[in-house]
Amino acid sequence: MIALFVRDLRLGIRAGGGALVGILFFLAVVAVVPFGVGPDLNLLARIGPAILWIGALLASLLGLDRLFQAEREDGALDVILLTEGRHMLALSVFVKCLAHWTAAVLPLVVASPLLGLFMNMDPLGIGATTLTLLVGTPAIAFIGAVGAAVAVALPRGGLLVSVLVLPLTIPVLIFGVSAAYGAVNDPDPFLPPFLILAALTLFFAVIGPFAAALALKGGAD
């Protein structure tokens, strides 16, 4: 499993520009917001957590269609489906999701404090948003594995993966933004939505790999 993690981490960094593409897309989303809402610094600070979460969510969808593509192209996926049981396949999917998150999504979390400064957010808001991104974005990778498994046999399944995954990530987005707002707005609570966000990540960490394994098995049959 360690070898699989290292292999997928290298593939994720090399394929399509890796983390650099995601960071540039993340920066582009955040950079165009002031042009749309105007130069009101108070407004930018108020909507900053939501914009960072939306940008990170959209950037996290990049590259999900390539999660199983390398194994599909070299035939390794067929060998894995024939030799591994359902539980071992789910464990392999779990490791691949962790590698994808480390290579493509973790750099977005690291870059979010700098982009928070662009949105005129205060340090507490930046810290809370970064923490919620760190806890919540792994759920996007686990959800994305299901969409990637469904569309792995399609030659151009990138758009289909995004269409399948985006609605399922809405609860993660809602509780992530709610927790970030709760940290800076005194009447709003921070801990309850943050705990729900963590619970969603743990839930999808269990359900996502098993659902992706079933989709891969079903596609092979």
Q: pLDDT tens per residue, the chain (221 residues)?
A: 677 777 767 766 665 555 678 888 888 888 888 888 877 888 888 899 999 999 999 988 887 877 777 666 666 666 666 666 556 788 888 888 898 888 888 989 999 999 998 888 999 999 999 999 999 999 999 998 888 888 776 666 567 787 888 899 999 999 999 999 998 887 778 899 999 999 999 999 999 999 888 888 776 55
- What are 171-177's contacts with CB under 8 Å, separation 24+? 171/200, 172/57, 172/136, 172/139, 172/140, 172/143, 172/197, 172/200, 172/201, 173/53, 173/54, 173/57, 175/136, 175/200, 176/53, 176/132, 176/133, 176/135, 176/136, 177/49, 177/50, 177/53, 177/132
> pLDDT value at position 195?
96
Query: Smallest Cα–Cα separation from 67: which of 169, 202, 212, 201?
Result: 212
Q: Are 33 and 7 in contact (CB under 8 A)?
A: no
Q: Are 147 and 64 in contact (CB under 8 A)?
A: yes
Chain center to CA of 72: 22
> pLDDT value at position 149?
84
Q: Burial level of 205, CB count in 10 A (0-12/13-18/19+)? A: middle
Give this prediction's pTM: 0.87
The backbone region for 17, taken as left when phi is positive above 0, alpha when psi lies in -120 to 50, beta otherwise, is left
Sign, CA torsion 11/12/14/15: positive
Dihedral pair phi/psi, residue 120, rounded to 5°: 60, 35
Kindly state the DSSP code that residue 40 receives in the 8-state scheme. -
> pLDDT value at position 135?
96
Dihedral pair phi/psi, residue 215, rounded to 5°: -65, -40
> pLDDT value at position 56?
92
Query: Smallest Cα–Cα separation from 200: which of 139, 145, 157?
Result: 139
